[in-house]
């Protein structure tokens, strides 16, 4: 191999490749070859069943490292914590092919072999490439496991459509090794342009707020927090010092992010004000606009007839940040509109004195609350408007951060 074969995002990077027991395991040989050719250092981990499809000798030879399968090896007393050190060694963990069985184990935190234990210990991003028969892939149990994995922050590369080992045709084929290599480059590349936010303090808010009426009832909204969490994760990947102030969500904390959990708009306001010295503030939280004037400490008894609830405005956190901002701070707000979105978003830029508004429209399919994808329009105080296509919230987060690098977003002196 000559130095010219290398890829800048893969050169010298440590990659774990997990191979599980499916017919597509034979493609992992080519994948190892491509990653090695691009300059990566590849350690293969196999599940015990993968050895029925491809030999450790083959993968050990192409990767130039002994393949690991079991956590406990007879006569090898000193190395049982190797799954922990490997989990820290890797810049990326790719599992290709990932069988339905391994997906289920990963979704539920099983650690019964070297591959699953290392996945649990890994601090790096995971790229999971499922491959199985079509019927197994579309089964609700598998789909649910994939949702769990996406919620855990794993990247799932969907299987391709085509003829399957069973003789049937459908979705379930492992993508070609070149496509998996490209996805690896993509993921490691995100980290490579990460340097751009090194030394910057970034504050992100996420999720809904809950405004309690009594201990068991509250006013809230369906925000899942996914967009804000994706932003915090992306900023951390780029080397920023990230604080994430979040309302109630079930999402795991992205690695390298300092998380502050709050419940109400009032609590979010206090926490944001504590951190308002950040260089970049992105308010992705869906903050409740109104809160009950009286909150009962006991559960309110129901009576015959109607009841009226008196609400007061919550503090508009973003407006306050805009009023108290410094010139070199970057402020980003979100807007979710059901009608005349662009006009409202433009007004919001001025009213709240922010640099960017990210507009998402509730009527767009695949965009908005709860889903993993989003379709947004970015609007800047300098009059730029950019409508982005439907893409994953992870990509939307990257796109937003890419825009913030331009000095042109700074307010005029
Ligand atoms: O005015 P509107 O609620 O549409 O503005 C949305 C933007 O303002 C979001 O960025 C949201 O996080 C922020 N916001 C806030 N405090 C509120 C309400 C919204 O910071 N009380």
Place of tokens 């649990």: 120
pLDDT band for 190, please (50, 70, 90 cuts): low
CB 123 within 8 A of CB 87: yes
Q: What is the pLDDT of residues 254-275, one digit of tens each?
A: 878 999 999 999 999 999 999 9
Place of tokens 């893969």: 10
pLDDT at 405 over 60: no
Query: Residue range 318-344: average pLDDT?
Result: 93
Q: What is the pLDDT of residue 232?
A: 95
Substitution candidate for ligand 1 out of 318, 319, 354 with most atoms within 8 A of CB = 318
Q: What is the pLDDT of residues 286-307, one digit of tens each?
A: 999 999 999 999 999 999 999 9
160: CA distance to ligand 1 center in Å? Answer: 40
Q: What is the pLDDT of residue 5?
A: 67
For 304-313, which contacts have Cβ atoms below 8 Å and span 24 or more sequence positions? 309/213, 311/219, 313/289
CA distances from 380 to 162, 202, 284, 341 (A): 44, 19, 16, 14
Phi/psi-derived region of residue 124, left when phi > 0, alpha when psi is between -120 and 50, beta in every other case = beta
CB 54 within 8 A of CB 26: yes
Q: What is the pLDDT of residues 36-90, one digit of tens each?
A: 999 999 999 999 999 999 999 999 999 999 999 988 876 666 677 788 889 889 9
One of 4, 221, 353, 360 is an active-site residue; which one?
221
380: CA distance to ligand 1 center in Å? Answer: 16
389: CA distance to ligand 1 center in Å? Answer: 24
Query: Residue range 81-105: average pLDDT?
Result: 93
Give residues (CB < 6 A) around ligand 1: 265, 283, 285, 287, 289, 314, 316-318, 333-335, 348
Q: What is the pLDDT of residue 411?
A: 41
The continuous run of DSSP H or E covering 393 comes out as helix 393-404
CA distances from 270 to 275, 315, 321 (A): 9, 10, 12
pLDDT at 408 over 60: no
pLDDT at 3 over 70: no
Closest C-alpha to ligand 1, atom 17 = 316
Query: Residue range 342-353: average pLDDT?
Result: 93
The neighbouring-strand residues paired with 188 are none
Residues with Cβ within 8 Å of 81's Cβ and at least 6 positions away in sequence, in order, are: none
Instruction: Note if 221 is an active site residue.
Output: yes
Q: What is the pLDDT of residue 31?
A: 98
Closest C-alpha to ligand 1, atom 19 = 287
Q: What is the pLDDT of residue 407?
A: 45
Q: What value does the CA radius of gyration of the chain take, rounded to a whole number of Å?
A: 24
Least confident window among 247-256, 327-336, 402-411: 402-411
pLDDT at 11 over 80: yes
Q: What is the pLDDT of residue 9?
A: 77
pTM exceeding the 0.75 threshold for the entire prediction: no
SS3 365: coil
Substitution candidate for ligand 1 out of 265, 282, 283, 354 with most atoms within 8 A of CB = 283
212: CA distance to ligand 1 center in Å? Answer: 19
Closest C-alpha to ligand 1, atom 2 = 335
119: CA distance to ligand 1 center in Å? Answer: 38
Closest C-alpha to ligand 1, atom 21 = 316
Closest C-alpha to ligand 1, atom 9 = 334
The per-residue pLDDT of the chain, averaged, comes to 90
114 compared with 337, residue with greater pLDDT: 114
Q: What is the pLDDT of residue 77?
A: 64
């Amino acid at each position: 191999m000559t130095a010219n074969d290398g890829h800048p995002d893969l050169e010298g990077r440590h990659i774990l490749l997990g191979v599980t027991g499916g017919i597509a395991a034979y493609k992992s040989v080519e994948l190892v070859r491509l990653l090695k050719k691009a300059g990566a250092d590849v350690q293969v981990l196999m599940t015990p069943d993968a050895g029925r499809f491809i030999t450790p000798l083959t993968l050990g030879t192409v990767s130039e490292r002994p393949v690991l399968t079991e956590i406990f090896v007879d006569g090898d007393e000193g190395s049982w914590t190797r799954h922990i050190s490997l989990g820290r060694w890797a810049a990326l963990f790719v599992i290709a092919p990932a069988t339905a069985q391994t997906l289920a184990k990963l979704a539920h935190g099983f650690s019964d072999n070297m591959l699953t234990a290392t996945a649990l210990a890994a601090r790096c991003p995971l790229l999971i490439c499922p491959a199985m028969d079509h019927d197994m892939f579309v089964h609700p149990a598998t789909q649910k496991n994939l949702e769990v994995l996406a919620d855990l922050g794993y990247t799932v590369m969907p299987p391709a459509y085509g003829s399957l080992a069973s003789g049937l045709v459908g979705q379930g084929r492992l993508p070609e090794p070149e496509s998996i290599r490209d996805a690896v480059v993509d993921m490691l590349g995100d980290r490579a342009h990460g340097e751009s936010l090194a030394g910057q303090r970034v504050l992100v808010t996420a999720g809904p707020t809950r405004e309690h009426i009594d201990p068991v009832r509250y006013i809230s909204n369906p925000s899942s927090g996914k967009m804000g969490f994706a932003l915090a994760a992306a900023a951390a990947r780029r080397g920023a010092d990230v604080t994430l102030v979040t309302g109630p969500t079930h999402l795991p904390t992205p690695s390298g992010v300092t998380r502050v959990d709050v419940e109400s708009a009032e609590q979010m306001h206090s926490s944001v004000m504590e951190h308002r010295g950040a260089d970049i503030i992105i308010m992705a939280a869906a903050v409740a606009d109104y809160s009950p004037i009286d909150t009962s400490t006991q559960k309110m008894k129901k009576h015959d007839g109607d009841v009226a609830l008196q609400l007061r405005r919550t503090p508009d956190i973003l407006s306050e940040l805009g009023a108290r901002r410094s010139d070199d701070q970057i402020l980003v707000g979100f807007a979710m509109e059901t009608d005349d979105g662009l006009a409202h978003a433009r007004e919001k830029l001025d009213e709240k004195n922010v640099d960017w508004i990210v507009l998402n429209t509730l009527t767009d399919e695949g965009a908005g609350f709860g889903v993993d994808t989003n379709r947004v329009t970015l609007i800047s105080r300098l009059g730029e408007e950019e409508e982005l296509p439907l893409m994953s919230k992870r990509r939307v987060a990257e796109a937003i951060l890419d825009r913030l690098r331009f000095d042109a977003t700074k307010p005029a002196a």
